[in-house]
Amino acid sequence: MKFILQIRQLTEKDLSRSAPYLPNNGDYEIYSQALCDDIANLKEISRVTQENSSLLIEINEPLSENKLRKLIKPFFTIEMMKNLRFVSLYKLE
């Protein structure tokens, strides 16, 4: 089973009290790689590969999109959200 998690860099439209400034150059890559590594360390996950702003997540056992969403939600911390944004998560058919 495979899923695609899409993330993106912050833009000026995202600036708010919780993200008052755009991240430094290179921060997006650091945080997106950290997210990839965190997801890959879940026991339900067999492999995660990153291509630009898409993470291909391969699952060991059948898992619903909602269950996967709940598993990865804790990785989107306040600090993480200062550097990237969640776009979508969907199952590859």
Mean pLDDT calculated for residue range 55-66: 94
- At 60, list the tokens: 């060991």
Is the pLDDT at 93 greater than 90? The verdict is no
Q: What is the mean pLDDT of residues 53-66?
A: 94
| Cβ neighbours of 91 (radius 10 Å) | 14
Domain ranges of the chain: 2-91
Contact between 27 and 83 (Cβ < 8 Å): yes
Q: What is the CATH number of domain 2-91?
A: 3.30.70.3400
Contact 84, 10 (CB under 8 A): yes
Mean pLDDT of 21-32: 91
pLDDT surpasses 90 at 10: yes
Q: At 19, is the pLDDT very low, low, confident or very high (cuts 50, 70, 90)?
A: confident
Q: How far is CA 50 from CA 14, 42, 73, 93, in A?
A: 23, 16, 18, 19
Q: How far apart are CA 33 and CA 49, in angstroms?
A: 10
- pLDDT reported for residue 13: 94
For 34, 46, 62, 80, 93, the CA distances from 77, given in Å and listed in that order, are 12, 23, 26, 5, 29
